[in-house]
Amino acid sequence: MGIRKALGFALIGALASTAAFAAPPPGHSGNPVFPGWYADPEAAIFDNTYWIYPTTSLEYAKQTGFDAFSSPDLVHWTKHPNVLAIADIPWAKKALWAPSVVKNNGKYYFFFGANDIKSDKEVGGIGVAVADKPDGPYKDLLGKPLVGAFYNGAQPIDQFTFHDDDGTWYLIYGGWKHANIVKLKPDFTGVEPMADGTVYKEITPAKEYVEGPLMFKRNGKYYFMWSEGGWTGPDYCVAYAIGDSPTGPFKRIGKILERDPEVATGAGHHSVFHVAKDDSWYIVYHRHPLGDTNGNHRVVSIDKMEFDKDGKILPVKMTFDGVTAKPLR
């Protein structure tokens, strides 16, 4: 590792709240893409602007709100502080994390996990908030969790909102080694049965699945991605499967993002940007700086994600330089 980057990450370790790092080459985003301890990044494109909504990576009791970041080109980022605060979620008491943000019928909907419940006897799970703008302020939509109980063994966390080509909205979620898919009502006020009558359908793709599900569609195929390993440790990683429908079945193909002893460890809980005009893809993920063993010390990075001629995802090469500018306008 070069002296420039070594010094940059030393500064990250020393300055948790204002994580400074060495300047990337001209025209590159650099990794991490913005300062501070952040994790579980959600990537979205709204009105020709890139948005990242991450978890504020602190001890659970201190994760009481979300910041957002916007960019016109993947290189220059603007921070939007406290777009959703725990004070605006009456049923949430601790531990807000893992955003999923989408636009629907002119409104912006912010799905989140809260309270880290361990049983159906506790109040918590997956909630949803709404705003008129992508930078909020977001307010709780339901006054209660959208999914507030365990189904098929899945802890109600780490939700991802998927919009299929036929207009159907799905929520894919789950921790504790189980993943579920549910069909959302069009206004996101609840869930409804699928065509076969199932409400909470398990689609766990492999025994290695842990958490952090994500889905996208490319060339008629459904790509299901997730994180494996422990989120605080060095072996956290991302794997994927491909299926013919959003409900699978999905067969694990393999890992595409994992630690690099020369760059970072614990790379996982990701999202993706897709620029449709040239079918370019970017993976947005968190990772631990080299030599830092504090599980909450995570930073957000972006690298290119590419496919082979058969549509399989190529292993991602983590970098310090990040990506070059990609304006949407």
Domain boundaries, the chain: 3-305
Give the per-residue pLDDT at 24.
84
CB contact set of 167 (below 8 Å; sequence gap of 6+) = none
Average predicted confidence (pLDDT) for the chain = 93
Per-residue pLDDT, averaged over 251-258, amounts to: 97
pLDDT band for position 21 (cuts 50, 70, 90): low
pLDDT value at residue 23: 77
Instruction: Say if residue 254's pLDDT is above 60.
Output: yes
CB 26 within 8 A of CB 84: no
pLDDT for 22 equals 64
pLDDT of residue 10: 42
Whether residue 3 has pLDDT greater than 50: no
For residue 45, what are its two tokens?
Answer: 């494109």
Residue % of the chain over a pLDDT of 70:
93
Pick the catalytic residue from 42, 116, 140, 211: 211
Confidence of residue 51 (pLDDT cuts 50, 70, 90): very high
211 in active site:
yes
Please state which of the four CATH numbers 2.40.50.140, 2.115.10.20, 3.40.50.620, 2.40.50.320 is assigned to the domain occupying 3-305: 2.115.10.20
Look at residue 187 in the predicted model and tell me its pLDDT: 98
**What torsion, rounded to 10 degrees, do the Cα atoms 110, 274, 326, 103 define?**
-30
B/e letters for 272-308, b = 16+ CB within 10 Å, e = fewer, are: bbeeeeeeeebbbbbbbbbebeebbbbbbbbbbbeee
Checking if the pLDDT of 244 tops 70, the result is yes
pTM strictly above 0.75: yes
Task: Report d(CA 220, CA 22) in Å as an integer.
Answer: 41
Look-up of token digits 């990075």: 301
**Edge-first strand listing for the sheet containing 139-140:** 97-104, 107-114, 125-131, 139-140
Partners of 93 in the β-ladder: none
